Every structure is written in C-alpha cells, then in structure tokens.
Amino acid sequence: MPMIRLKQGGRIVTLSSVSGIMGNRGQVNYSAAKAGLIGATKALALELAKRKITVNCVAPGLIETEMVTEEVKEHALKMIPLQRMGQVDEVAHTVNFLCSDHASYITRQVISVNGGLI
C-alpha cells in the first residue's frame, strides 16, 4: 500500500456488520466472517499506528436496500429502537467522517450504524 511506504499517514475503514458483533441465527458463516474482519481491523490498527495510519470499522445494521424483503423489514423494525431502517447515506457519512481529519485520533474502533439495535 502506498500510504504505508510513504509514511505520510492515512486512513483505512473496513465494512463489517452488526452480525459480526452480535451473531445472527442462520448466518453462522456470515457472522464469523464479519467478526473476523473486526478482529483483523483491530490488529491492523495496532500495527499501523506507528505510521500514523488509523484503521477503523463500520458495522451497519439493517440498511434499506433492494436486498431487504418486506418480511425481513417487518420483523427487524420490532427490534430497532429507532423504529426505522438505516439509509445507505448514513453509512457513507460515517465512513467519510472516519476518513477525515476530524477522526485523526480515532483508531481501532467499531462504529455501528444500527438505530440502537445493539
């Protein structure tokens, strides 16, 4: 990665899921993969901190996309304290913030965009 060789600092943001934090029935493989990504993010943050590279993870909850069926939406809304699904822009804004200078002292964190689900 050029930012590692140039030693000028930088930002890495990974995208996981609330499933990687809390698990999800019927999704053992997906939950395990997303949990593994969270662990890798935290380990990489320790390795790259000396190079002034921050590494963080965004873990979205239920986000309104064409992949979400009405049945899933109806069930999920009962569990989300804010009583709505997240929007793609809300996840994007979180990633944008973590890539900005405003987040220069934030590293090794998992930020969950989930409406209070967990």
How many whole angstroms separate alpha carbon 91 and alpha carbon 112? 9
How many whole angstroms separate alpha carbon 18 and alpha carbon 77? 15
98 touches 11 (CB < 8 A)? yes
* Residue 66 burial class via C-beta count within 10 angstroms: exposed 0-12, middle 13-18, buried 19 and up: exposed
Residues in the chain: 118
Which position among 10, 15, 22, 30 bears the catalytic label? 30
H or E element that contains 89: helix 88-99
**Known catalytic residue: 105?**
no
Task: Give catalytic residue positions.
Answer: 30
